[in-house]
Amino acid sequence: MKTNLFKKKSQINAPVETVFNWHARPGAIKRLSPPWDPLEVIHSSGGIHIGAQVVMKMKTGPIHYKWHARHIEYEKNSMFKDIQISGPFSKWVHTHRFEPIGNDRCLLEDTIEYALPFHPISTVIMDGFVQKKLNRIFTYRHHTTIDDIAGHQSAKQHGPLTILLSGASGLIGSTLIPFLTTGGHNVLKLVRRPPDKDKNEIYWDPASGKLELNAIAPIDIVIHLSGENIGEGRWTKEKKKRIINSRVKSTRLIAETISKMETPPKAFLCASAIGYYGNRGDTVLTEADKPGDDFISDVCRMWEKSADAAAQTGIRTVFLRFGIVLSPQGGALGKLLLPFQLGMGGKISSGRQFMSWIGIDDAVGAIHHTIFNDQITGPVNLVSPHPSTNKEFTRILSNVLSRPSCFTIPKKAIEIAFGKEMGRETILSSTRVKPAVLEKVGYQFRHPGLASALAHLLGKNNENLS
C-alpha cells in the first residue's frame, strides 16, 4: 500500500525528560486537541506504554466518527508510537520522537505515515487537503506544548500540588484540569452526583451545605469556578435568585469549610467577573475601581464578600474577575462562530461598546500564574491588555474567518430577545478593563492581541491580520 508522510519539528526550551513526561501524563490528549475540532476520550488505558489503547469521539466539520488507536512502541525519553486500529484512514502510524539538545533543550518531532482509503484516486484528490489539515493541527499542538511547558517550567521549583476544583465540567474548568495534570499536579473535582473515586471526585451539595474535606489528604490550593450560567435563559425572578444563590452559597460553604481545616490550603481562588464594574462606557478600569450599580455588579460584590471566612483566617484569597473568555467550544465565541462562518455576522447596535476579552489559554495561564505568585491577593482582572470595541471585534473575527460581516443587530432586537435588563447588562454593556495586577507581577500573555488569539483558537494563518 502506497503511503504518504507528514513531519513536524519544533525545538523546546526544556530538558527532554520534561517534555516526554508532559506527553505521558493524564490530560495530554485533551491539551493537544485543537479547539476548532475537539475530541472526546471515550476510553483509555495504559498511558503511552506498549499495548495502551484509546478510543476517541472526533469530528471534522459536521461529521462525527470514532478513532481507535493502540500504542505499539515505547522508549522512555526517546519515542513512542501508536497506530490506528479503526478510523478514517486506511493506515495511520504516528511516531513521536524526543531528541536532547544539551541539558536544557530538546527537539520534538511528529512523523505520520498514512494512507487514504480508495487510493490512488483519493490521494490525487485529497492529499493536499490532508497535508494542510495536519499542518494546522500540529502547528497548534506544538505551540500549545511549547507554551504549556514554559508555564510549568517557571513554577517547577514549587513542586507538584494537590488542587481542589469546582466547576470541572465548565468551559474554563475542563481546560484547566488537563493543563494542571500534564504539569504533574493532582486535581480533585467537586461533583454534585455520586462521585467516582477513580476519577478523583468528591461529593458536595452547596444547597444543603454538604462538604466534607477533613478525610482528604492536605489540599494546597482551592479553585472555585462553579455557578449558574448568567448568559443562558431570560432573567426571571427565579433565574436571578439561582444566579445569586449558586455563587453566594457555594462560595461561603467552601470558604467556611477550608477555614476550619486543621491544615488549611495555601490559597483560595474564587471566580468572579468584570461585571463587577458595571456598564462604564470607555472609562479604563482596574482592580482599584469600585463596583457598578446594576444586577451583575451586585452579584459579583456578594459573590466576593461570601469568601470572607477564608480571607479572615489568613488564607490567601484571590477573586478571578474573568472577562469574555474566548473559545470555539463555548461562551461568546462559541455562539458567534456559526453566524460569522456563514457570512451573517455583524456589529451589535453602535458597536462602540468595549469587550474586555481573554483567550482560553491565557485564562488558564493566568490562573496558573496566580497559584504560584504570593503577591497576588484580592481581585485580579483576567482580561487581555487590549480590549476591543464590538465593531473592532466583528471586523477582526470576520478577517480571521475570511467572511463578510455587513449586518448590524439593532439594540431593540437585543432587548426583545434577552429582555431589557439582561440585554443592557450583558451584550450591550461596555466595560473597558485593564489587567493591572497581572501586568504588575509580570504575566506574559500568550496572545495579547485579538487577531493572534482568534487565529490560534480557530487554526487560521495569523499573517496580515489586524
Q: What pLDDT, in 10s, does the model give residues 144-176?
A: 999 999 999 988 778 899 999 999 999 999 999
Cβ atoms of residues 315 and 268 within 8 Å = yes
Local confidence band at 182 (pLDDT 50, 70, 90 cut-offs): very high
Nearest to 144 by CA among 10, 344, 293, 250: 10
Tens-digit pLDDT profile for residues 112-143: 999 988 766 666 667 888 999 999 999 999 99
Cα torsion 210, 211, 214, 219 to 10°: value is 180
pLDDT for 124 equals: 61
Intervals of CATH 3.30.530.20 along the chain: 4-154
Helix (H) or strand (E) holding 226: none
Intervals of CATH 3.40.50.720 along the chain: 159-458
Q: What are phi and psi of 29, to 5 degrees?
A: -60, -45
- Omega before residue 120 within 30° of 0, cis: yes
Q: 97 is written with which cell numbers?
A: 520522537
Q: What is the mean pLDDT of residues 430-457?
A: 97
pLDDT for 466 equals: 45
Q: 28 is written with which cell numbers?
A: 495530554
Nearest to 201 by CA among 41, 192, 210: 192
Q: Say what angle helices 450-458 and 390-401 make with each other, to 10 degrees.
A: 40
Q: What is the mean pLDDT of residues 251-257?
A: 98
Q: Which residues contact 245 (CB under 8 A, 6 or more apart)?
A: 207, 228
Please give the Cα distance from 408 to 279 (Å, whole number). Answer: 21
Please give the Cα distance from 185 to 148 (Å, whole number). Answer: 13
- Higher-confidence residue of 328 and 58: namely 328
Name the CATH superfamily for 4-154: START domain (3.30.530.20)
Helix (H) or strand (E) holding 237: helix 237-259
Please give the Cα distance from 32 to 51 (Å, whole number). Answer: 21
Provide the H-helix boundaries in 11-120.
16-24, 28-31
Pick the CATH number of 159-458 from 3.40.1190.20, 1.10.10.10, 3.40.50.720, 3.40.50.300: 3.40.50.720
Q: What are phi and psi of 111, to 5 degrees?
A: -120, 130
Mean pLDDT estimate for the chain: 94
Q: 352 is written with which cell numbers?
A: 462602540
**How do 201-205 and 210-211 pair as beta strands?**
antiparallel
Angle subtended at Cα 179 by Cα 39 and Cα 435, rounded to the nearest 5 degrees: 115
Please give the Cα distance from 181 to 375 (Å, whole number). Answer: 24
Cβ atoms of residues 360 and 171 within 8 Å = yes
Which 3 state secondary structure label does DSSP give 338? helix
Angle subtended at Cα 191 by Cα 242 and Cα 317, rounded to the nearest 5 degrees: 75
- Higher-confidence residue of 314 and 116: namely 314
Quote the strand ranges of 25-117, DSSP E: 40-45, 53-60, 63-75, 79-86, 91-101, 105-115
Cβ atoms of residues 205 and 249 within 8 Å = no
- CA distance to 12, 144, 152, per residue, from 182 (Å): 16, 12, 9
Helix-then-strand count for the chain, H and E? 14, 23
Task: Fill in the amino acid letter for 386.
Answer: H
Q: What is the mean pLDDT of residues 51-63?
A: 87
Q: Give, rounded to a whole angstrom, the gap between the first and last alpha carbons of the chain.
A: 45
| Cβ-based neighbour number of residue 344 at 10 Å | 13
Please give the Cα distance from 393 to 399 (Å, whole number). Answer: 10
Q: 239 is written with which cell numbers?
A: 433565574
Please give the Cα distance from 173 to 179 (Å, whole number). Answer: 10
Q: What is the mean pLDDT of residues 426-433?
A: 96
Q: What are phi and psi of 185, to 5 degrees?
A: -85, 155
pLDDT for 64 equals: 85
Q: What is the mean pLDDT of residues 309-319?
A: 97
- Tell whether the model's pLDDT for residue 267 goes beyond 50: yes
Task: Fill in the amino acid letter for 45.
Answer: S
Local confidence band at 387 (pLDDT 50, 70, 90 cut-offs): very high
What's the pTM value of the predicted model, to 2 decimals? 0.95
Please give the Cα distance from 331 to 129 (Å, whole number). Answer: 30
